[in-house]
Amino acid sequence: MNGSDIGTQQPAPPEASATAVRVQVDVLRSFIQDLFAAQGLTDEDAETAAHALVTADVRGVWSHGVVRAPMYCERLERGVAKARPSIQVNRVATAAALMDGDDGLGLIVAPRAMDEAINIARQHGIGLVGVKRSGHFGMAALYAQRAIDASCIGLVFTNASPALPSWGARKTFFGTSPLAFGAPTGDGPPFLVDMAMSTVARGKLKFAAQRGEVILPGLALDAKGRPTTDGTAAFNGVMLPFGGVKGAALHG
């Protein structure tokens, strides 16, 4: 479940386009892996990054899937992100560590942070890992699932760039505060939630804007703070928090 999809009708996914072409998962994963390898990532890291994006698409969170690949490549090309970071871990307490991502892609740093938290938890019952100098890590559910696969309960939190206004305002101030949490359930499917404090993922507004689509009322404001159903005006304006003033209080 992606919390940004709760109770709203989201802009249509890319496959809704009449010109869309379906690609087999293995073929797509191989292509994205080659793309990241060409940017200088090691084969292992390129595979990890490709897995993250393709898994998001398979899960239905296409706003955080392969459509994001150009963004990551641009960050690597501009030197905003490092293709081969020197990731360091400092154990700051018995059950806590701080990871320095050395400006690596979040797609690479985040799974290592979760693995470190799992290792600490196996020793002490609980493991907490903070991360600095990392970047956008895609779908948060991916890392909670990593904990589930290790028979652990996983909690994932991240900051985000300003995207939501203070309640009653029209300019961005708060991030969307994405989070995910999950737990194994024995033989049944895992309990897994991935959500943010916005009514819709900003990536979905971006693609609605690119396609000139209309969005539902209540998702966003335009640049002048007026409610809008225009995808372009919404993307150039601000998203709104879910739950009205209560949602605004949560992300504040």
> Where do the domains of the chain lie, and which CATH numbers do they carry?
23-78 (1.10.1530.10), 88-195 (3.30.1370.60), 202-251 (3.30.60.50)
Residue with tokens 């909690």: 155
Distance CA(98)–CA(90), nearest Å, equals: 5
Cα distance from N-terminal residue to C-terminal residue, the chain: 23
pLDDT at residue number 3: 37
Tokens describing residue 198: 């916005």
pLDDT at residue number 72: 98
Per-residue pLDDT of the chain (252 residues; tens, 9 = 90+): 333 333 334 445 555 555 678 899 999 999 999 999 999 999 999 999 999 999 999 999 988 999 999 999 999 999 999 999 999 999 999 999 999 999 999 999 999 999 999 999 999 999 999 999 999 999 999 999 999 999 999 999 999 888 888 888 888 888 888 999 999 998 899 999 999 888 888 778 877 887 888 888 989 999 898 999 998 888 888 889 888 888 778 766
Question: What is the pairing mode between strands 128-132 and 96-100?
Answer: parallel
The residue type at 50:
A
Residue 182 C-alpha from the chain's centroid? 15
Contact (CB, 8 A) for 113 and 98 = no
Within 8 A by CB and 6+ apart from 79, the residues are: none
Tokens describing residue 154: 């996983």
Q: Which strand ranges, in their side-by-side order, compose the sheet holding 179-183?
A: 154-157, 179-183, 191-195
User: How many C-beta atoms lie closer than 10 Å to residue 211's C-beta?
Assistant: 14
Helix or strand run (H / E) with residue 25: helix 25-38
Q: What is the pTM of this model?
A: 0.86
pLDDT at residue number 252: 64
pLDDT at residue number 210: 79
pLDDT at residue number 18: 56
